[in-house]
Amino acid sequence: MLIRPVDRKEFVERTFPHTYSYMVYREGDVYYAKDGVTGSVEFSDVDAVNVIQYAIDKVNVLGGGRVLLKRGTYVVGKTISIKSNVIVEGEGSDVTILRGSSTSFGTVIDIDSQSNIVVRGLTIDKGGTQTLGDIWNNMSLSCENSNFVLIENVVVKNSPNYAMVFGGRKDARIFDTPYAPCNYVEVRRCKIINSYKDGIHFFGGKNIVIEDNYFEHLVDDAIALGADVNYPVDNVLIRGNIVIDSGFKWTNGLKLHSGWNNTSTPASNIFNNIVITDNIFVEVAQYGFTISLENPNYPVSDMSQNIIVDNNILKNAFINSVKNLVFRGNNVVYNVVVTPKAFYIDSYTGASNITISGNFVGGVIAVPGYPGVESGILNMIAIVGNVARKIDINSPANLVTVVGNTLFPGDDNNVRVAGLPNSPPTNVVVSFNVADGGNVDWNNFIAGYEGGAKVANRVMFIGNIGVNAKNYTIASNPNSTEIYAIFNHGNKPLYVTGDIRLFKNPVYVTERSDVAVIPINSTRVTVSHNLAKTPTKVLITPLGAPPGKLWVENITATSFDIVTDTAPTADLKVAWYAEV
């Protein structure tokens, strides 16, 4: 269950007065700190940071309060350290601006081992360019080992590194340096523009809200959550965020990734209880949403669990190493990929208990496979009620249901279930789907393909409707096993080879019965059986006393003859049953 941080408004009104404790303002090239109680100016300096830091330290010593930064531009050449129980608030992000005097001095705002912090209503303009990404620890806002933090209505511009980072290492160049996670953090209604690295990045942490933020022109990920076995990410709400104009080659809207700490400990369940809803992650280079493995130093199994991705607009989605995922009600411009293969390295991680439902997918819902992967690495996947161009189960998946989807024309097969012979998809139900091949897709539904190079095992096609396939409504190749087709319909035939069992498919009739009539003074009648192919069994029963012997001959793909050796003296009705 998602645990939300404390109500920040209630906390602020209870803890701090409505007026400022200290006010910082600028006149000419001099900055002043005024006591909010006495009204006297206590400190002034030509260095803005010295004055702001003086006010923060005084409020912290007094037990808490509000530092108001009046409208103006504050030239910042070193780090401002926010202390516990302090609100740092500008008069608005359009009028209170912290502008870096250079891009190389370090972080503008740092929150280190503190609690009960609010930063809001101001702009941080680091003045960096996207050529300065090699400068470590050069963030706009950094928070480490702190709790109960609210960042609200803050604009971050031109950050040469991370715009906002929470829980990062003290020295990001050393992989063994531990994380310093932050808990009970909210980032709301912020804008991040022109950032070389990630917009908002959490390394570990619990009880996090990232809501209603705006990202524009990023080189790396808009939102990234990093975790490892020692520093998990738990209980997160990511809602209402928008990313635009961020088409650089590394950019994702939201990425959940394993960390880089060197350890051989398996990293199970390092992301837990995460809700991702009502976001727009379209104008990105790679994926609107991705779960990915990035550390080759340790194995990962079920890296994430209890993830809900709901009602988002995404460019693509790439998902691996997850347990208990619900992906529903999203509008995906291109593809949704659920795979055992890790994103960045050649590792196979698995996924299980996944529901993909009620989405509109402009491309393919894919469960792709890779050579040499053991069977069953993807388990219990339900693909239900989506609209998509194609559903491709091309992996060692086990226990898969594809139900109630609508497939529109693409360039291949509407629904394909196929994998390598040593690791085929197994135990798959494809039922009550509607597929339109648009006369361009080869088949509406297929089990196995490529002349037997890809196969499937134990697949049931039930109650599907396929139209306008280029070749067949349902096809199966000779090396697939235990393929069942029941109550399916389409305007193209079925292609039946190998181990396939058929029953009551209007598009592929396997059995029929009717009554034929041998006319008076005739010895035979030709019956058109309308079966899918030449019947292997024909049974006849006269409905009256026959004048002599009756038998069947001339059985073909379209008809057979019922013959008697003695012509009847009145029309003779004969019941018949035929099956292929």
326-335 tens-digit pLDDT: 999 999 988 8
- Residue type for 54, please? Y
The arithmetic mean of pLDDT across residues 332-360, rounded, is 74
Residue 230's pLDDT is what?
Answer: 80
pLDDT-above-70 percentage for the chain: 83
Show the beta-strand stretches assigned E in 46-190: 65-69, 72-76, 80-82, 86-90, 96-100, 109-112, 115-125, 141-144, 147-159, 164-166, 183-188
More confident residue, 132 or 447: 447
Confidence of residue 136 (pLDDT cuts 50, 70, 90): low
Report which secondary-structure segment, H or E, holds 13: helix 8-15
Residue 13's pLDDT is what?
Answer: 47
User: What secondary structure letter does DSSP report for 10?
Assistant: H
Confidence of residue 114 (pLDDT cuts 50, 70, 90): very high
Q: Which residues contact 229 (CB under 8 A, 6 or more apart)?
A: 263, 265, 266, 267, 268, 270, 298
Using an 8 Å Cβ cutoff, are 438 and 408 in contact?
A: yes
**How far apart are alpha carbons 405 and 432 in whole angstroms?**
7
Residue 207's pLDDT is what?
Answer: 97
Using an 8 Å Cβ cutoff, are 546 and 528 in contact?
A: no
**How far apart are alpha carbons 14 and 11 in whole angstroms?**
5
Show the beta-strand stretches assigned E in 212-264: 214-218, 223-227, 233-239, 242-244, 254-258
Asked if the model's pLDDT at residue 278 lies above 50, the reply is yes
Confidence of residue 251 (pLDDT cuts 50, 70, 90): confident
Residue 472's pLDDT is what?
Answer: 84
**How far apart are alpha carbons 272 and 322 in whole angstroms?**
10
Neighbouring C-alpha atoms within 13 Å toward the C-beta of 306? 14
Scanning the structure block, which residue is given the tokens 């002043």? 32
Using an 8 Å Cβ cutoff, are 237 and 200 in contact?
A: no
Scanning the structure block, which residue is given the tokens 């029963």? 541
The arithmetic mean of pLDDT across residues 548-569, rounded, is 93
What is the residue-wise DSSP string for 26-58? EETTEEEEEETTT--EEEEES-HHHHHHHHHHH
- Residue type for 283, please? E
Using an 8 Å Cβ cutoff, are 126 and 134 in contact?
A: no
Asked if the model's pLDDT at residue 4 lies above 90, the reply is no
The arithmetic mean of pLDDT across residues 7-14, rounded, is 51
Q: Please, what's the b/e burial string for 153-173 (b: 16 or more CB within 10 A of its CB; e: otherwise)?
A: bbbbbbbbbbbbbbbbbeebe
What are 243's two structure tokens? 């990313």
By CB neighbour count within 10 A (0-12 exposed, 13-18 middle, 19+ buried), where does 553 fall? exposed
Confidence of residue 541 (pLDDT cuts 50, 70, 90): very high
What are 232's two structure tokens? 């998990």
The arithmetic mean of pLDDT across residues 192-199, rounded, is 89
CA separation, residue 405 to residues 331, 386, 483 (Å) = 15, 5, 20
Asked if the model's pLDDT at residue 191 lies above 70, the reply is yes
Please give the mean pLDDT across all residues of the chain: 84
Residue 494's pLDDT is what?
Answer: 74
Beta bridge partners of 331: 313, 360
**How far apart are alpha carbons 549 and 510 in whole angstroms?**
28
Residue 1's pLDDT is what?
Answer: 40
More confident residue, 509 or 402: 402
Confidence of residue 134 (pLDDT cuts 50, 70, 90): very low
Asked if the model's pLDDT at residue 5 lies above 60, the reply is no
Confidence of residue 531 (pLDDT cuts 50, 70, 90): confident
Confidence of residue 97 (pLDDT cuts 50, 70, 90): very high
Nearest to 242 by CA among 256, 253, 252: 253
**How far apart are alpha carbons 230 and 333 in whole angstroms?**
36
**How far apart are alpha carbons 555 and 535 in whole angstroms?**
7
Each residue's pLDDT tens digit, 230-242: 888 999 999 999 9
**How far apart are alpha carbons 92 and 153 in whole angstroms?**
8
Using an 8 Å Cβ cutoff, are 241 and 9 in contact?
A: no
Residue 501's pLDDT is what?
Answer: 72
Report which secondary-structure segment, H or E, holds 60: helix 48-61
Residue 387's pLDDT is what?
Answer: 95
Out of 120-129, 338-347, 447-456, 526-535, pick the least confident.
Answer: 338-347
User: What secondary structure letter does DSSP report for 12?
Assistant: H
More confident residue, 304 or 402: 402
Residue 162's pLDDT is what?
Answer: 87
CA separation, residue 248 to residues 195, 218, 317 (Å) = 11, 7, 17
By CB neighbour count within 10 A (0-12 exposed, 13-18 middle, 19+ buried), where does 387 fall? middle
Residue 323's pLDDT is what?
Answer: 80
Asked if the model's pLDDT at residue 470 lies above 90, the reply is no
**How far apart are alpha carbons 431 and 488 in whole angstroms?**
9
Instruction: For residue 143, give the 3-state DSSP assignment.
Output: strand
Asked if the model's pLDDT at residue 17 lies above 50, the reply is no
Scanning the structure block, which residue is given the tokens 């619900």? 326
User: What secondary structure letter does DSSP report for 341?
Assistant: B
What are 180's two structure tokens? 């310093």
